Structure 1
């Protein structure tokens, strides 16, 4: 790719939502959400901030205020080093939640982060999201700002579901715990919208991303993470006198034997149980070596989350089943500083590091072990393929084949020459292939061609002469929110006229402008100050119904209506709606559920044909396609920024699934009573989403009183 002309130092914004992130004493292994990704994003932030072509790096994560964890995670700003900070943004309740429980708060996170960004001296040059949840947030920001999005998946939902099914878990159980359908849907959207996807290995591209509809390897680049070679290095003998050495040896009858070391989170996917079974069923292996499992930290297993509790309980039951007492060590606690020492102790013992995970997106622990001179036995699924291929320091195994796992461990423990060769190869090649300096260099070379390709959405100076007293807004859909109760509509119209001096009145509708104006005049509804029409693809302002051309230019990104019409014409069960329901940025069909493909299948086909759009089914019978940067919710947030109206002072009324994206987040929302309100029953944010008892326009008035809207100054 050709480099662009941008030469000013860059402002990079990294987003990693879940887990516990801070700049010191990372609690790696505390739970399933505080693992390698946590360390990766902190190390990446530091490495990028050391470069002269970088002005500033902010790592954004969720602010957590919880008496059960350190107060560090509640600090809004933490300085990492010169030019690098951790920024913590509030999202939903204060407490600490596992990542699967955060999905409903991501819109709030995105709204709060966008508000924070607009307060900064400048906008970022790049948004870099980590994992699907951050991908969702960054994608919303990219749609609203035009800033290029790059993404790192770390692990992928489709691959995870396949591996979990292979263990015998039922799909229903997997879905209930991990919400994988929602995650996979977001991953599909992120892949379609990202300008660049950064992976750690070629295996991720060839075997994991290949499972997705929008699979374009030319938009992907392999940049392996680095290793801190000051921390992780060959042993020097001092490790014997450490506290962690004493903590491990107290478990063992013969502590001088080689150590088979497994170090990971207590997570089902890490497959620790299979390792214990392989060891327990092989007396020869037990005679050759001790097994050391470092699986996070714990005080009382009974007080841990369900998933962690289940894994640790299974480990203890297996130890008892195979009567491995005296041959296995499983310490309750270790510090971050202990981890390099544990690797070096294993190397001193002429042991082996083992990673039996069902799949390993990359495998930072493999690099750390190799940097300490430990040979590897690792899963053949994922990142270890590249690591062992580059470092030539270990063996790959099928993680579900207990016999193969035991034989690989015995082969390295018995063949001293092979052990020495693998140990030396690891020490040399980790330094050669996996340094943070090399990572940052390739990272910058990969992102610079993206700069200047997109035009950020400007903030337009607006005249507020006649509207200078309006500091809040009410937006409502027409058909399922406003109309339906004539008496209520008359009362609402009087209400708006009385409050017009203080409030913007806006319409957000799927109708075209002409249709919307006709209905409003017919029902004598006051002319709105702003109309978001055709599902948010067009924005008009009173009194002259002036089109916002900046918004039109912004949403034209990736829009290819000719290709979309060609693709859709080949699908059964879809009939074109009349021309008066179509517009430049809206393609609409009648949908026959008896013969038409499902909405997911239609979206998959569009992605496979490289069409990046926002497509959805409404009321079970209307299928609409608009540009990916357009929706009622995105148009509403654009209005909020342009007119400096905080989202907390915008009341949004909706009555069907078509309104969901403008109701999530920081707006004050009301779901009015009507026949379609069940489509919004999944919304659950009691402080900002109110389910009115009254129907249609009366429900909006009820919500105004519920929120004390005209005295609310959020």
Structure 2
């Protein structure tokens, strides 16, 4: 019945556009450079998969023709068939030689005109255009307007998010513009979002957290279609996995290699949260008895030669293994080949193990799908894409990545119930075939595309309006304790206000809590992750949506910081007691303080006399923190202002204790929110730009917004537009 109904429909002629990178139908040079990666693989596989459909007449992948002795002559061939109905067509785009995508912006009109001429030379016009990435989106927008053909778009990555990541890496705004032409990319993305009839994303989170920052954000036009998975590579165990080289490598590190396996596969990045996983395993004797832990975190020859972040993560991994004395229970191979990833999944499935993704945030979770396709149940972070995967496949459990005890309990439960394990494994294999195989991807894809062609699904048009000026010129920074936390009644309208103005302002939280503690607190109170999260009294800065750490800030504050020397000087000071280890960090020494210490200034003077230039902070009447002299909430805030380009004069800052004083001083719009620790900020009372609210908690911040008429400029801009 289904085949008969398909036959009645007019077969579709689909044109995909992917301008940059090196694209061919065989031996893709994945990883050759930043432009030849997942996107090039995706568009080729989508083209090929569409060509296998009976309800598709023809599919073309249009890309840039490259004539360059430095690359294969394949990329100069104008026409390359992939199958009877699917082909790659290469079209001139400015210079013939291979150029990185950032160098192509001035030639896109040339490419667009050449594509138009080519399409007009064909027997008939395509039914739909599908652009990939911002440059193709710009071309597709022009062609869609010229030809009156529906446009579908996939961004793959977005410029606003990219700019944030580059800023976090320490690259200056001017250098980002010169190297990445990021403003042109963002403008092209806005143009595309305004023109596209449908935007295809991998997850709902991508829609809300990334596209939601754009002026032309139209969620009603967006559809979630997860990418396809190659089931010829990822499949259940065949029985020969234990003979593989990677299996032998694991056996050398494990005392009981035949135990079930808890497998984690991630790059060595703090956001992947591998240390919490090790702690969860190390603090659970039952879990250690039940299974081995296998950590596959990239390839390495010498940890000392790794880049700084990876080196730190690996050092911490080895220290954690030593701390919990996990030798013989944890394997962490130095090398693995790409083709051995699927073997690792099958090895774990053969041993009736589990795959775990404990990341703090996971935009999609491709490894979860790969593991499921191999018959391996999954346990994954509840933040991001994994919730979609587990909802579809019913093959595992979600965890709070910051709750070690719950993580261990969930892993143990998954491993212990053999009947449930078989059910999860079976459902994972079935679910991937149903939702994440290429056949499933194309089925969903055509269900989105066909109504546009047949005009059976209305395309709503919003009144598009661009904001004048730069992206998000205003900012609001607030502390957590006694501001956002303490009164749920006032928190709700505050968060509603933040959401309503999310495209106009940068929302930041500055706290003395550690990153894990802050994230756990945000989760407990249902506070969405802010654009900027300053933790550890200003010693760490992370940026949304993927908690990208500002590594340059860490290097910046390390100047003249001698943590061990400071600790030695303070160890015998009466009235000071070190707080628990969980409150300490590489750039923060935290103490409880009692009445025997007359003031924080006494501590500061003691350290200065001993040639230790530091920042000493007293807060909440009982806590004392010693930081590098370049670190504080206020200095971190100003660093972010420089990185993002927002003006301090347009930044509302809400504080409650002495730790917030330097955030409130200066050119910011300060508000001291009413609370029992006002005495710590009494010397700010006579400063004109600092407002003392009458209301407490988040209500005090809302009161200050009214006092400063904080959103007045935005309202005027909207009225003018």
Match of 1:516 in 2: none
Residue deviations 1:645-697, cap 9 Å, x none?
xxxxxxxxxxxxxxxxxxxxxxxxxxxxxxxxxxxxxxxxxxxxxxxxxxxxx
Q: How does 1:152-167 map to 2 (within 5 A)?
A: 152-158=154-160
Q: Could you tell me how far apart the structure 1 residues matched to 2:301 and 2:97 are?
A: 20
Q: Match of 1:12?
A: 14
Matched, 1:598 2:469: yes
Does the CA-based 8 Å contact 1:293-1:330 persist in structure 2? yes
Instruction: Give yes or no for the alignment of 1:329 onto 2:332.
Output: yes
The total of aligned residue pairs comes to: 452
Q: Distance in 1 between matches of 2:406 and 2:23?
A: 37
Q: Distance in 1 between matches of 2:438 and 2:314?
A: 38
Offset, 1:49:
0.6
1:99-145 CA distance string (max 9 Å, x none):
xx623313425523642552352543322122334323433443454
CA distance in structure 1 between the aligned counterparts of 2:113 and 2:143, rounded to whole angstroms: 7
Equivalent position of 1:279 in the other structure: 278
Tell me what 1:575 maps to: none
Give the alignment partner of residue 424 of structure 1, picking from 423, 426, 431.
426
Aligned-partner SS, 1:187: helix
Residue 53 of structure 1 and its aligned partner are, at CA, apart by 2.9
2-side partners of 1:435 and 1:37: how far apart? 17
Change (3 A) 1:335 1:75: farther
User: Do residues 121 (structure 1) and 94 (structure 2) align?
Assistant: no
What corresponds to 2:198 in structure 1? 196
**Structure-1 separation of matches of 2:212 and 2:24:** 33
3-state DSSP class of the match of 2:238? coil
Instruction: Give per-residue Cα distances to partners, 1:171-222, cap 9 Å, x unaligned.
Output: 9589949776654443333221101112334444455434433333332233
Aligned to 1:629: none
Per the alignment, residue 290 of structure 1 pairs with 293
TM-score (norm 2): 0.52
Structure 1 residue 9 displacement after superposition: 3.5
Listed one character per residue, the Cα deviations across residues 378-402 of structure 1 (whole Å, up to 9, x for unaligned) are 3334322211111111233455667
**Taking structure 1 as reference, are residues 271 and 447 closer, same or farther at Cα in structure 2, changes over 3 Å only?**
same
Q: 1:352 aligns with which of 351, 354, 357?
A: 354
In the superposition, relative to structure 1, how do residues 36 and 115 fare at CA in structure 2: closer, same or farther (>3 Å)? closer
User: Cα–Cα, structure 1 residues 362 and 79, in superposed 2: closer, same or farther, change >3 Å?
Assistant: farther
Matches within 5 A, 1:187-226: 187-226=189-228
Instruction: Provide the C-alpha distance between the structure 1 equivalents of 2:41 and 2:154, rounded to a whole number of angstroms.
Output: 14
In the alignment, the residues of structure 1 paired with residue 302 and residue 174 of structure 2 have an alpha-carbon distance, to the nearest angstrom, of 26
CA gap of 1:281–1:439, structure 2 versus 1, over 3 A, is closer
Cα separation, 1, equivalents of 2:110 and 2:342? 40
Q: Is the 8 A contact 1:154 1:362 kept in 2?
A: no
Partner residue in 2 for 1:105: 104
In structure 2, what is the equivalent of residue 241 of structure 1?
Answer: 243
CA–CA separation in structure 2 for the residues paired with 1:195 and 1:322: 51
TM-superposed CA distance for 1:334, in Å, is 1.9
Segment of structure 1 superposing worse, 29-38 or 194-203: 29-38
Question: Does the 8 Å contact 1:262/1:292 carry over to 2?
Answer: yes
Shift of 1:169: 6.4
Task: Indicate how the Cα distance of structure 1 residues 160 and 114 shifts in structure 2: closer, same or farther if over 3 A, else same.
Answer: same
Shift of 1:48: 0.9
Deviations 1:398-456 (A, max 9, x none): 55667765665455345545433322221232233334334323322322333387xxx
Which structure 2 residues correspond to residues 305-704 of structure 1 after superposition, within 5 A? 309=307, 312-322=310-320, 327-330=330-333, 332-336=335-339, 338-357=340-359, 359-398=361-400, 408-451=410-453, 597-598=468-469
Counterpart CA distance in 2 for 1:24 and 1:251 is 38
Report the Cα offset of residue 330 of structure 1: 4.1
In the TM superposition, residue 62 of structure 1 has moved relative to its aligned partner by 5.2
Q: Is the 8 A contact 2:154 2:201 kept in 1?
A: yes
Larger RCO (alpha carbons 8 Å, 6+ apart): 1
Matched residues in 1 for 2:110 and 2:303: separation? 37
Q: What does residue 57 of structure 1 align with?
A: 59
| Other-structure match for 1:665 | none
Q: Would you say the 8 A contact 1:261–1:351 is kept in 2?
A: yes
Closer, same or farther: CA 159–108 of 1 in aligned 2, 3 Å: closer
1:377 alignment partner, SS class: strand
Q: Is the 8 A contact 2:381 2:399 kept in 1?
A: yes
C-alpha contact 2:49 2:442 (8 A) present in aligned 1: yes
Would the alpha carbon gap of residues 15 and 84 (structure 1) be closer, same or farther in structure 2, given more than 3 Å must change? same
SS of the aligned residue for 1:450 comes to helix
CA apart distance, 1:57:
1.8
Q: In the alignment, which residue of structure 2 is the partner of 1:511?
A: none
Deviations, residues 559-600 of structure 1 (Å, cap 9, x unaligned): 99xx89xx89xxxxxxxxxxxxxxxxxxxxxxxxxxx95266
In structure 2, the residue matched to 1:640 is none
CA distance in 2, matches of 1:277, 1:440: 38
User: What root-mean-square deviation, in Å, do the aligned CA atoms of Structure 1 and Structure 2 show?
Assistant: 4.8
- Is the contact between residue 259 and residue 292 of structure 1 (CA under 8 Å) also seen in structure 2? no
Answer whether contact 2:102 2:181 (CA < 8 A) is retained.
no
SS state of the match for residue 128, structure 1? strand
Are 1:103 and 1:133, in contact at CA under 8 Å, matched by a contact in 2?
no
Distance 2:405 2:172 in 1: 31
1:333 CA drift (Å): 4.7
Question: Residue in 2 aligned with 1:43?
Answer: 45
Is residue 371–residue 430 contact of structure 1 (8 Å, CA) maintained in 2?
yes
* Residues 59 and 87 in structure 1, CA contact (< 8 A), matched pair in contact too: yes
Which whole-Å CA distance do the structure 2 matches of 1:30 and 1:267 have between them?
A: 21
